[in-house]
Amino acid sequence: MDFTLYFAVILVVFALIFLFSVVKIVPQGREFTVERFGKYTKTLKPGISILTPFVERIGRRMNMMEQVLDVPQQEVITKDNAMVKVDAIVFIQVMDASAAAYRVENLPYAITQLCSTNLRTVVGSMDLDEVLFQRDNINSRLLTVIDAATEPWGVKVNRIEIKDLTPPVDITNAMARQMKAERERRAVITEAEGEKQAAIARAEGAKQSAILQSEGRKEAAFRDAEAREREAEAEAKATAMVSEAIARGDVNAINYFVAQKYVEAFAELARNPTAKTVIVPAEMSGLVGTIAGLGELVGLAREQQATRPPARPAEPVAAPQAPQPPRPPRRPTGSVPTAE
């Protein structure tokens, strides 16, 4: 009874071991190589597969997904003898599992060393300025060379990126000073351009101001001339009316001119800045009478103009008597000081 139980257990264990050695499940993103008596025969794709018992076995388990390899930092001498520290990263993907498994030993290490040697070659053929400012060029050259070198291994190099470029400390300081000087130069140029634009704007403003002032003076002169012309016309009409009144023997016409000159002279005397006193007539009746005569003359002229009959041939008239000049003002009895 015990022997039978032990035999059954041993048989079940042996069956399980046999089953696991024959039936293989390949996960997604992986491929397994199959060896028959140590020789490669086929590649198992993702899914379930059955091997020949005691004849075939799994050789290499290959990762078919994209992988990232880190290229360690190294010192490289550029074409102009500058020492820089460079490191990079590489993105690879196995395309042929059998070639990647049996054509190169330790695939990640081989690709890393290949990238390091080509990185020194590419960077060493360029000047420091080119290395610092042409990373895309370095990446493209490395990608072309390394992809061609790894193609027999069944590997596709998708991208190579320079991760860090570290120049020496003295070169870094020199670059910082150069950058500062360049920014100061740009600031000076920008400031000069601003001053130039401001000067142009000020000159344009002064030009427009001068033009507007000139046009203003021109308009003012034109208006002044027009005002003087109208004033002259009014003066001529007044003179003609007074002449007609004198011809008719009206004494108020003479009083009009005398009063006008009298008032103008008195105004000039009052506006004189050097005059300490202003002489005021004691009797203002003469001035009031003159102004009243002026008002009567203007009213008479308006009435005559409104009731004037049609023009007739002029008849000879006797010469009018000379009008008596107005009585001169009496001698002032006092003086009124003016404000200085």
pLDDT tens digits for 244-271? 777 776 666 666 666 776 677 767 766 6
Query: What is the predicted pLDDT for the residue at 9?
Result: 80
Q: What's the rounded Cα separation, in Å, for the pair 228 and 278? A: 31
Residue type at 83 in one-letter notation: M
pLDDT grade for 53, boundaries at 50, 70 and 90: confident
User: pLDDT grade, residue 46 (50/70/90)?
Assistant: very high
pLDDT digits (tens, 9 = 90+) for 5-35: 777 888 888 878 777 778 888 999 999 999 9
Checking if the pLDDT of 1 tops 60, the result is: no
pLDDT, position 279: 59
CB atoms within 10 A of CB 115: 25
pLDDT above 90 coverage of the chain, percent: 29
CA distance 41 to 60: 12
Mean pLDDT of 217-226: 86
Provide the pLDDT for residue 290: 55
What is the average per-residue pLDDT within 303-307?
61
Is the per-residue pLDDT at 326 higher than 90?
no
Mean pLDDT over 27-46 rounds to 91
Question: What's the order of all strands across the beta sheet hosting 30-36?
Answer: 39-44, 30-36, 56-63
Phi/psi at 79 (5° precision) = -65, -30
Using 50, 70 and 90 to split pLDDT, how confident is the model at 311? very low
Check residue 81 and give left, alpha or beta (phi > 0: left; psi -120 to 50: alpha): left
Tens digit of pLDDT for each residue in 87-118? 999 999 999 999 999 999 889 999 999 999 99
Say which amino acid occupies 106: N
The answer on pLDDT for 340 being more than 50 is no
pLDDT in tens, 185-202: 999 999 999 999 999 999
pLDDT range class, residue 282, cuts 50, 70, 90:
very low
Say what the pLDDT of residue 301 is. 56
Question: Is it the case that residue 323 has pLDDT exceeding 50?
Answer: no
3-state secondary structure the chain: CHHHHHHHHHHHHHHHHHHHHHEEEECCCEEEEEEECCEEEEEECCEEEECCCCCEEEEEEEECCCEEEEEEEEEEECCCCCEEEEEEEEEEEECCHHHHHHCCCCHHHHHHHHHHHHHHHHHHCCCHHHHHHCHHHHHHHHHHHHHHHHHHHCEEEEEEEEEEEECCHHHHHHHHHHHHHHHHHHHHHHHHHHHHHHHHHHHHHHHHHHHHHHHHHHHHHHHHHHHHHHHHHHHHHHHHHHHHHHHCCCHHHHHHHHHHHHHHHHHHHHHCCCCCEEECCCCCHHHHHHHHHHHHHHHHHHHHHHHCCCCCCCCCCCCCCCCCCCCCCCCCCCEEECCC
Instruction: Copy the structure tokens of residue 244.
Output: 């007609």
| Cβ 111 vs Cβ 69: under 8 Å | yes
337 vs 12, higher pLDDT: 12
Q: What does the pLDDT look like over 150-159, one tens digit per residue?
A: 999 999 999 9
Could you tell me the pLDDT band of residue 334, with boundaries at 50, 70 and 90?
very low
- Is the pLDDT confidence value at 315 over 50? no
Single-letter residue type at 258? V
pLDDT at 117: 92
* Average pLDDT estimate for 116-129: 90
pLDDT for position 219 = 87
Which pLDDT score, from 0 to 100, does residue 272 have? Answer: 64
